[in-house]
Chain A
């Protein structure tokens, strides 16, 4: 078996197994178009300004219902926000706790806290909405299409379409419990830095932010990948050459004296 054939077989097998996994879970009703993201591709990276904008959209449009229960305020330094600003951000949240008198109380958040949930707990969420709005920490990893799925869902509302009873129409899911997060008039909306984003831009920014919450070490992994794969390619070449040298010597010796006794 030639080496080239072997390599082809490996990549073919990987493709087959990947393809086998893919259709199994594609259940969504509508089309999910692939979008351009800065974090896609082997050199993909996060645009910190976009993530900060996305955080702001999350705060204005998502966090009234959804939680980010796996995301610590301290980890937002990955958005290129200063520690002082993060402390200030954390302190704007009320964290439930039991005080020294044993009573339920709230205190301002600190860096080590996770984003609190406005609905506080699943039972209240179900009592309020009939169904708990899912935690968004890993959302970009837990749906086929990932960020493309989130973007398609956020931009998939169509008020002109017939609305199902007690729910909303969305081209991704047809029937969705989640109301359209975008108000009809957003002419006054602006980011803290003064820029005025379109709805489409807001959807992209919050999607990028949710991709970051699901995969905060993506850049590290990509950089690691480039170094490791370059190293492995070099090792592959060197080990191949070493193998050829050793093989030539072993063959030469084999002609003269042979190998170990097969009867041994």
Chain B
């Protein structure tokens, strides 16, 4: 690249580029790389997620200029952290918009990433040669979950305290090291000032680590190239376009649609996706019903459904340890996905049986989210605009048929079975449909 000539005609651009060749690097990546010409709208979510990361970093930066990570309470019993968040909302010019762009933005960042990941899972984007690309994506997801949890805690409302208390407690499930990790996370035994200060420091730092991983993710993408809806390799120049102008314009359009919805939620329902009770400063009592933010619900469900101990020939694994193991496993298994799926065909479009199980997996994640939101021992239901659709009933004697916990165990089972049983076995027995010879062929034929 350094040896190549500057592609710019404008003398100012050309002169600058000849002295510092960053512009030609950008130009090169936008025009010289071959992208499949048939990417559909599901491929928009990657760039949308990237833009959302920038929105989060910028709004967060300006809020950090006004936020105070202190649990000290004033004479109203309101802690300084909570007060400073309200100060941003009430006294800082445009602060209410900053805060809601950030808090609603977290939800929409997750929406973009969730669509992005499910697209990858449907079209087999994780398969060779894109294993590293997929793994970097999994690291991004885990970083996002951590960062959003840290950010949620900073408000120091009722749910912030509950989240900090309960989630740090999960680490004590680790034998021997658990208690040490707890102290390290909290900066002491208790959920207190030390915890809030280190959560703020980490919530500021980790997004830049995330941005670093995103850059690696994009570098990997440019090396191995995009997958496409047909899941077949690029064969000739007939199959390809450069990123600019085709995908820049397509992405701007997709981004416009996404941002219209995002900004409408900021304007008219900024609290709709959040827990109302967190708008009250914490009094250090755990609320009777603790739920995390919606995007963490499926994993929270997997954490909480294990209520019994497992006795392995005298080695007792407690329910709490099982839950923590299962939650860690539910994330860890995503890293193995490229090797668990044994089918040589990438795109779900040509895999009739896979399709059914894939949509089953999508439903599974929604059910687990509902399980995460509901009370374990009570009858499970599906909320609809017309009221509750009950999926359980009281069987008498205190036993509930179809309790939230039972549904949770069932779908936790499906979650793991999808990766450990269904995908490996399906690749061996499923008869995929005939693949087209090239991307251009179905268009030309």
Listed in ascending order, the chain A residues whose CB lies under 8 Å from chain B are 1, 3, 6-7, 9-11, 13-25, 27, 42, 67, 69-70, 72, 75, 96, 114, 117, 120-122, 125, 132, 134-135, 137-139, 141-144, 146, 214, 216-217, 220-222, 224-226, 228-229, 232-233, 235-236, 239-240, 242-243, 246-247, 250, 254, 257-262, 264
Complex Cα–Cα for A69 and B157 (A): 15
Contacts of A142 in B (CB 8 A): 157-158, 276-280
Say yes or no: A135 contacts B77, CB within 8 Å.
Answer: yes
How many whole Å from B20's CB to the nearest CB in chain A? 24
Contacts of B313 in A (CB 8 A): none
Contact of B260 among A9, A117, A125, A233 (CB under 8 A): A233
Say yes or no: A21 contacts B240, CB within 8 Å.
Answer: no
Say yes or no: B34 contacts A260, CB within 8 Å.
Answer: yes
Contact of B253 among A217, A236, A259 (CB under 8 A): A236
Chain A residue at minimal CB-CB distance from B76: A69
CB contact list, B120-170 vs A, under 8 A: 157-158
Complex Cα–Cα for A21 and B292 (A): 9
How many whole Å from B113's CB to the nearest CB in chain A? 12
Query: Does chain A have a CB within 8 A of B70?
Result: no
Complex Cα–Cα for A132 and B39 (A): 59
Interface string of B198-219 (1 = CB under 8 A from A): 0000000000000000000000
Chain A residue at minimal CB-CB distance from B388: A23
Say yes or no: A69 contacts B78, CB within 8 Å.
Answer: yes
Say yes or no: A262 contacts B241, CB within 8 Å.
Answer: no
Contact of B76 among A15, A135, A143, A146 (CB under 8 A): A135
Say yes or no: B276 contacts A24, CB within 8 Å.
Answer: no
Say yes or no: B76 contacts A239, CB within 8 Å.
Answer: no
Contacts of A3 in B (CB 8 A): 41
How many whole Å from B200's CB to the nearest CB in chain A? 21
Say yes or no: B373 contacts A21, CB within 8 Å.
Answer: yes
How many whole Å from B156's CB to the nearest CB in chain A? 13
Contacts of B253 in A (CB 8 A): 236, 239-240, 242-243
Interface string of B349-385 (1 = CB under 8 A from A): 0000000000000000010011011100000010111
Say yes or no: B86 contacts A137, CB within 8 Å.
Answer: yes
- Residue pairs across A and B with Cβ atoms less than 8 A apart, 22 shown, are A10-B258, A11-B261, A14-B261, A17-B111, A24-B291, A120-B75, A121-B77, A138-B86, A142-B157, A222-B268, A225-B264, A232-B259, A236-B253, A242-B253, A247-B250, A254-B241, A258-B240, A259-B238, A259-B240, A260-B34, A261-B34, A262-B34
Given contacts A260-B240, A260-B242, contact A25 B289 (CB under 8 A): yes
List the 5 closest pairs (A to B, CB-CB), nearest first.
Answer: A225-B267, A258-B237, A69-B76, A259-B240, A262-B234
| Interface hub of B33, B34, B274 (most chain A Cβ within 10 A) | B34
How many whole Å from B387's CB to the nearest CB in chain A? 11
Say yes or no: A239 contacts B249, CB within 8 Å.
Answer: yes
Chain B residue at minimal CB-CB distance from A114: B76
Given contacts A27-B289, A142-B279, A214-B279, contact A17 B294 (CB under 8 A): yes
Contact of B384 among A19, A121, A232, A242 (CB under 8 A): A19
| Secondary structure class of chain A's binding surface, majority of residues | helix
Listed in ascending order, the chain B residues whose CB lies under 8 Å from chain A are 31-35, 37, 40-42, 73-78, 83, 86, 89-91, 96-97, 100, 107, 111, 114-115, 157-158, 225, 229, 233-242, 245-246, 249-250, 252-253, 256-261, 263-268, 270-281, 283, 288-289, 291, 294-295, 297, 366, 369-370, 372-374, 381, 383-385, 388
| Interface hub of A42, A70, A247 (most chain B Cβ within 10 A) | A70
Given contacts A19-B383, A24-B374, A229-B264, contact A264 B275 (CB under 8 A): no
Contact of B237 among A9, A16, A260 (CB under 8 A): A260
How many whole Å from A220's CB to the nearest CB in chain B? 8
Say yes or no: A262 contacts B236, CB within 8 Å.
Answer: yes
Chain A residue at minimal CB-CB distance from B439: A262
Chain B residue at minimal CB-CB distance from A249: B245
Given contacts A214-B279, A236-B253, contact A70 B370 (CB under 8 A): no
Say yes or no: A224 contacts B97, CB within 8 Å.
Answer: yes
Say yes or no: A141 contacts B40, CB within 8 Å.
Answer: no
Given contacts A24-B275, A142-B279, contact A14 B111 (CB under 8 A): yes
Say yes or no: B42 contacts A259, CB within 8 Å.
Answer: no
Say yes or no: A259 contacts B256, CB within 8 Å.
Answer: no
- Interface contacts beyond A246-B246, A259-B239: sample of 12 additional A-B pairs, CB < 8 Å, sorted by A: A11-B261, A25-B291, A70-B78, A72-B90, A122-B73, A122-B77, A132-B283, A222-B267, A232-B260, A236-B257, A239-B253, A243-B252
Say yes or no: A258 contacts B236, CB within 8 Å.
Answer: yes
Say yes or no: A75 contacts B90, CB within 8 Å.
Answer: yes
Contact of B32 among A121, A235, A236, A264 (CB under 8 A): A264
Chain B residue at minimal CB-CB distance from A21: B294
Contacts of A25 in B (CB 8 A): 275-277, 289, 291
Complex Cα–Cα for A247 and B38 (A): 11
Complex Cα–Cα for A75 and B96 (A): 14
Contacts of A138 in B (CB 8 A): 86, 279-280
How many whole Å from B289's CB to the nearest CB in chain A? 6
Contacts of B242 in A (CB 8 A): 259-260
